[in-house]
Structures are given as C-alpha cells and as structure tokens.
Structure 1
Amino acid sequence: MQTDLWNYCLNLYARPGVEQACLHLQDQGLDVCLLLCAAWLQERAVACDELRLGQLNACAGPWQREVVQPLRQLRTHWRKTAAHDDALAALRAQIKSLELEAEKTLLRRLESVTLGWPTAQPQDTCDWLQRVASDADHPDCDALHQLRVAINHA
C-alpha cells in the first residue's frame, strides 16, 4: 500500500474501471479528491466521525469551488473549439495541467488534515466512501461499487 495520499491515488486511479467511475461520480457533483481520500482512509482503517468528515469538507470545499472547478469549467468549455484551433488546444493543455496540479495540492492538504488520525477500533469503523458519497443527492451505486472493488483488489 502506498503511504502518501497522492501516490495511493495514482495507483488506485490506474486500476481498471476507476477512472470511469470517478468521472461519472464527478459528473454527479461529487468531489473525486474527497472520494479518493475516503478510500485511502478506509483502506488504512482510520476511524471516521462527523467531526473528521467536516474537517475534510472544510478543507476541500473552498479549494474545489475557487480553484479546481473554475479551471475544469474553462477546460471543458474550450473542448470543441480547441479541436479546430491549435493555439487554443495548447492553452487548454496548460489549463488541464494546472487543474491536475490543483487537485494534487488539494490531496496534499487533505492528507495534512488527517495527520495523527488514529486507526479505528472495530466498533468505530465506518464506510468512508459511503459517508463522502452521501453528499450527492443520488450517488451512482454502480460507480461506487466499481471504486470499492478496485480498493479491495489492491
């Protein structure tokens, strides 16, 4: 198992079906960085509670709204036009790189929030993925299942 969150995410995201599941959940309004962090915490058997969930959301929410989402919106807005404009395609690639760097920064911030969180006692375990996904009105159960399967086959 990878010890730091970024490398864990790279490893998990590369597994079959994970990228598609994450993109589908992202389209539903879920924060993929939070989901990947939840998977990491779950695999490490870290106890979860409302306070910790609140800390993660407080860390991720503003960064997603103010940094990641504006970059993503600009990149996706330029998708069709960039297909026929080389200069715009080059700028779009730079935006994509900035978006990835912003997500990497968020993952580092999330990891730092979790420093010192102990592993759970058996009675304190919870489903981190489900708790994070519950922020969506109707999270796609198939996509969550795909993510869960990938985690369990590490």
Structure 2
Amino acid sequence: MTGDPLWTFACEFYGRPGIAEACLALQDEAGADVPLLLYLIWCARTGRPVDAAAIAGADDRIASWRVQVIAPLRAIRRAMRSELLPGQSTQAHRERIKAAELEAERLALAALSAAAPEPVCAADSGTDVLALYAAHLGRPWPDAPLRVLRAALGTG
C-alpha cells in the first residue's frame, strides 16, 4: 500500500498476536488513538526522541483528522455490525467503510511520519512511551493490554 517505514512498522507490529486486541482495548477503555500509539512505539523503536511535548505535538497534528474523519468512519462501521436494514445484506458496504477507515488511519500515520524527528540514537528501550502517552491522556490504562504491549516491546 505504501513504502512509508512507519506504515510498514505499524502493519507488522499490529499484526502480531495479541497486539490488535491490546491496542483496541486501550482505544475503547482509555481513549488512546491507535495510529498515535503505533507512531509513538515506532519512534521509540527507531531512536526518535519522545517526550511529553512531542506527544502533545503529534496528537495536535492529527486530532482534527481523527475527530472529523476516522471517528465517524469507525462509528459507522461499528453501527453496521447489527442488522440495521432487515433483509438487506450490508456486509460488502461495511467492508468498504472499513477500508476507508484503514486508509484514513494510514493517512494519519503518513502525516505523523512526515513530521517525525530524525533518529538521534539506537532504539530507545528506556523511554516508556506508554506511560508518557497515558499521562498525556490523563487517565490510567487497563493492566491487561498494557502488559501485552510491554511484553511485545521487551519493557515489561
């Protein structure tokens, strides 16, 4: 779909066992934005500096897109899980909405990638981007998905 290294990383990381479920749990239970979360993990893994200001800047960069495009597409796709038009198959349309949502998330990642800082060191396992992002959101994160992500990152 693209040669962007962030997109490549996001697809590979998200596809690992348990990661998608952990990311979606953080999205649904703690208000995390999955593209931003994947971006922050990528930054840490590629030696790009991440601190509270960097998280706030990245969040601001895609906030309008998330609110005006991604969230409505997600809401439509989720609403279409149930049979809203009795006797009518809407699965193919739901799949198109899902594809549009995925493309919108890819575009958010592309915007983040374009503004990402240059790597300054080797992969940074010392910066706890998960804790920094949770602090940015101002709420604690559920333990189970956090454990899954930390295990995948080798930090917990």
TM-score in terms of structure 2 length = 0.84
Residue 147 of structure 1 aligns to a residue in which SS? helix
**Distance in 2 of aligned mates of 1:146 and 1:132:** 16
Please identify runs of 4+ aligned residues in structure 1 that moved more than 4 A: none
Q: Which has the higher helix share?
A: 1
C-alpha distance after superposition, 1:20-76 (max 9, x if no partner) = 101111112210111111111111232222331221011121111011000000111
Closer, same or farther in 2 for the Cα pair 1:136/1:93, shift >3 Å?
farther
Give the number of aligned pairs. 148
C-alpha distance after superposition, 1:71-114 (max 9, x if no partner) = 0001111111169531x222111100100000011011111111
Mean Cα displacement is larger for which, 45-54 or 63-72? 45-54
- Residue number in structure 1 paired with 2:49: 47
Closer, same or farther in 2 for the Cα pair 1:38/1:84, shift >3 Å?
farther
Checking the alignment, whether the CA contact within 8 Å between 2:46 and 2:119 is kept in structure 1 is no
Residue 139 of structure 2 aligns to a residue in which SS? coil
Return 5+ residue gaps in structure 1 as ranges.
none
**Distance in 1 of aligned mates of 2:51 and 2:140:** 21
Backbone CA RMSD of aligned residues: 2.4
The percent identity for this pair of structures is 31
- Residue number in structure 1 paired with 2:132: 131
Return 5+ residue gaps in structure 2 as ranges.
none
